[in-house]
Every structure is written in structure tokens, then in C-alpha cells.
Structure 1
């Protein structure tokens, strides 16, 4: 079984002080895709380049203390792709792809952090620009290789993916345009779709147990007023190998919960 975890750290230094490294050592994923590292190369090199006997690879934002993604892995990648070729968004540290190619397969594991538009109209427009240019990248990649993209997508796709969907219909993360983007990406017959929401393949109807993020305001976590923002998006052949899913709601390394999916293959 290949166990793949996704976790928004909300700062790697903060998450490690809260025990994420010992948790990684205990759960032993094959790879863990992390988002919001909020660190620079110099910070990583002195402490975080290797955690729980796993080697880390990273895409850092140019802005200090902002964004950044990484993948810790027990397996040696055949190639490391930093960024997806975006003039605007590669500077924000949002995409890292590890390739594990052999003569018989082309396989990628991707850690991605989609922009949030919750801070205002300017960032919402940036989010739309990201979605517009990221979609063709995923479609091209799907035509060339098998992949699993893990990450904080910052979109709750369906009404069952957040607690208070009625009152959030005009809020970033549940806007009609964002949800339509996800619907197209996951469409089974549209040539602009074809990816699989792996968690929903395994758990098509869960609500309260599906959430992976809770606001720090009020008693959102205590009352489980959450959103499902963290995804595994996979090509159909890999999604078909998914067997188990676990959302670790009770660990608190950040405002997100880790999600691990077990796939029936080995590196």
C-alpha cells in the first residue's frame, strides 16, 4: 500500500513545535505533501530538510513568511519540477511535482496550494487567474502521465463539503465560479475534465466527517463548523487504486487536518 498524506502546515516551524514530526514518524506515510511552509531555503536547510527519516523537496515563495509547498518522501524521485511555468504564481511558491518514472510508467506526486480570495477582491481576481491558467496545465499533464495532486485547493465543491453552505454562497471558497471550475475538472465526459476527487470516490456522501479546515473564529473547531478544502485529485487509473481514507481531525498541527489515502500500488 502506498500511503499519501496532504497537510497544510500553516507554517512549518509552528507545526513542528506542535508535534507534526513525531506524528509523521508514527503514521509513516510514503509521501506527505505539505502546503503553507512559510519558510525560505535558509530556514529549511538548518532544520527541516529531513523530517521523520523522509527527504524534503520544496518550492518557496519569494515573499518571506508566505505560502510555499513541499513534499517529504521515502522514495527517490527521478525528477523534481519546481513551479508549473507561471509568470505570476510561480513566484508565490504554489507547485511542486516529484516524478517517479520507470521504463514501465510515468508517475507524478504533486503538492499544490491554490490562492485564497478571502482577503478581498484583488486576491479573488488573482485566484480566478490562477484557476484559468492552471486548468490547461492539468489537462496537458493528464495527457502525458499519471498523477496525484494533493493540496489545499481553497474550494469547497459541493454543499456537503461545508457546514454552513447557505450563508457562504457569496464567500470565497464557495463561489459559483470556483465550484464550476471544480465541476468541469471532475467531469467524466467533458474533454476539459477527467480527474477524480479521490476522497469523494471513497466517501460520496459524508458531511461532518469530511471537513479538513476550521476557522479560528468563534468555536468553529469545537462545533465542527468546517470546510473540506484539502483534496487528492488523481488521474482515473490511480484513483481506481485508492482503498482507504483517513482524516485526522483530532490532531492540531495547524488549522487544517491531515488527510491520508492508501493506494494499492508500490513505488
Structure 2
């Protein structure tokens, strides 16, 4: 019989303790996930491991400032090795980038949980965001050299195309949809309309969510808690799995686990779940 696909998910939990109080545990228990990337953990490693339980091997890189950011990778298998070094040493990336290698059969799959800064146009926050994206641009080719089966996933806080934001016209000058931010994704996966876009262009990575959806609006992964954004599906697609082309070619299923109703949400983000037949 063919082996079961590797199910890989990413979710910005917006505080893992709050997420579990709202029902994240019930979602997780029914999804048969093999590798789970988390962002905005905002908890201690002890808290995280206690919530997930003994069945998970947990890697956690907390933020420098307590109660902020924090990324983690939880897996049903032990990590072969993991790394947190990222970019230059003169800016703080703690809690925003965590890499791990996993043995899947006779292959090595490299997984990254990433949390890009929210940013704020024309402020020092945006300068830090650009510095992080610069470091990410430098790191992606090295990841591909390290393992042909690599995926960078998480809340990357940029909508690449107009299809990725419901109200894109009203956000052209706001962080998350600035032309300078979107240009990074042109370099990661190729530019819309150019040869090889999202099929090996740019740095050779493939935006799995967009590849699966095609040229349609969304599917969004983040909606404000405020107003009727969720009910009206006025969202942003800012949670990604960016995979090397070799890994992208193994994809057999892609889903955004959008809650059925506003009061069933356990985060302002929805998980992005991908099955890879490795």
C-alpha cells in the first residue's frame, strides 16, 4: 500500500494558551497532522509542551520580549537537527525564525516556522520588517541547497497579489501590501504574468496556497476580530507554505481550515494544511 502523505500545517495561534481555551485542541486532535508550525506562541516552552501533550516533539524559539511573537515546530517525529540563527547579529530575530530537519523515509525534509514583522509604513517598524525580508531572501537559496525538500511556512504578513486581499485598493499604502514588500515575493516565487511565475521562477520557491487555488480571490487566512470582517470574508491571505519546486511537486491536498462561524474561531488566523506525498 502507498504510504500516508506527510501532513504539514501552519497556524498563527495569536497566543497558544488562548487558542486552546477557544478550541484549538479539538481541531488538532481531529486533523492527523504530522508537522505543525506555530507563530505568535506567546508562552513558555513548558506551557506549550503541556498543552500539546506527550505525543509531540516540540521545538520552540521564544521572543526576546516576554509575551511577544515566538515560533515553534511540533512534530510526531524527532527533529534530526534544528537551527535558529538567521540574518545578521545586530537585529533581533528571536521568536521569528526556526528551522528543523526531519527524516521522512530516506529523505530529509527541512521545515521553517516564520513570523514576519507586521510593520508600519514609514516607521522604524517597517525598517525592521524590510531587514527581516532581506535576511529571508538571503536564506531561501541556502535552504534549497541544504535540502531539495524544504518549506518555509508561517504568517509572512504580506499579501503578494491583489487576489490576496479583499480590500486591496484601500491598502496600497499600508504595511502588508506595500509595493516594496510585494516585490520580495516577486523574487521568491516570480512575478505575476512573467515566465515561470510560481513554478520555479525567482528563487525557485512555490507558493503552495496560490498554486492550489489558482487565479481566484483568496482563500484568505486572516480576518480582523473587529466588525464583520470574518462574516463578510473581508480577509487577507498572509499565511503561506513556500516550498521548493521538488517538494511542491509532491502536493496532493491543500486546505485552509476556516472556522464555520465567528464564534468557533480559536485565532484571528486560519490554519493552512498541506499533504505532501513524499
Unaligned runs of 5+ in 2: 191-195
Distance in 1 of aligned mates of 2:58 and 2:121: 30
Q: Which residue of 2 aligns with 1:147?
A: 150
Deviations 1:84-131 (A, max 9, x none): 254255553111111024795332011111111148711111101111
For residues 137-186 of structure 1, the C-alpha deviation after alignment (integer angstroms, 9 at most, x for no partner) is: 11112122120111000000000001011111001000000101101111
On the 8 A contact 1:82/1:95 being kept in 2, the answer is: yes
Q: Counterparts of 1:260 and 1:63 in 2: how far apart (Å)? A: 29
Structure 1-normalised TM-score?
0.91
Aligned partner (choices 8, 13, 17) of residue 9 of structure 1: 13
In structure 2, how many angstroms separate the alpha carbons of the residues matched to 1:107 and 1:78?
Answer: 10
SS of 1:214 mapped into structure 2? coil
CA distance in 2, matches of 1:32, 1:141: 19
1:107 aligns with 2:109: yes
Query: In structure 1, the residue corresponding to 2:110 is in which secondary structure?
Result: strand
Residue 39 of structure 1, CA deviation: 1.6
Corresponding residue of 1:212: 221
| Aligned equivalent of 1:63 | 65
Who is 2:41 aligned against? 37
| 2:174 equivalent among 133, 158, 171 | 171
Q: Describe the SS at the equivalent of 1:254.
A: coil
Q: Do 1:70 and 1:96's aligned partners in 2 also have CA atoms closer than 8 Å? A: yes
Q: 1:37 Cα shift?
A: 0.2
Which of 147, 158, 163 in structure 2 is aligned with 1:160?
A: 163
8 Å CA contact 1:24, 1:52 repeated in 2: no
Do 2:86 and 2:135's aligned partners in 1 also have CA atoms closer than 8 Å?
Answer: no
User: What's the CA shift for 1:42?
Assistant: 4.8
Mapping of residues 57-136 of structure 1, within 5 Å: 57-101=59-103, 104-118=106-120, 121-136=123-138
RMSD of aligned residue pairs (Cα, Å): 2.1
* Partner residue, 1:245: 254
Q: How many residues align?
A: 262
Shift in alpha-carbon separation, 1:254–1:103, aligned structure 2, 3 A: closer
The answer on whether the counterparts of 1:51 and 1:72 sit within 8 Å (CA) in structure 2 is no
Structure 1 equivalent of residue 184 of structure 2: 181
Q: After superposition, give the CA deviation of every residue in 1:193-225 in whole Å (9 maximum; x if it has no partner).
A: 1110011111112314x1000122321111111
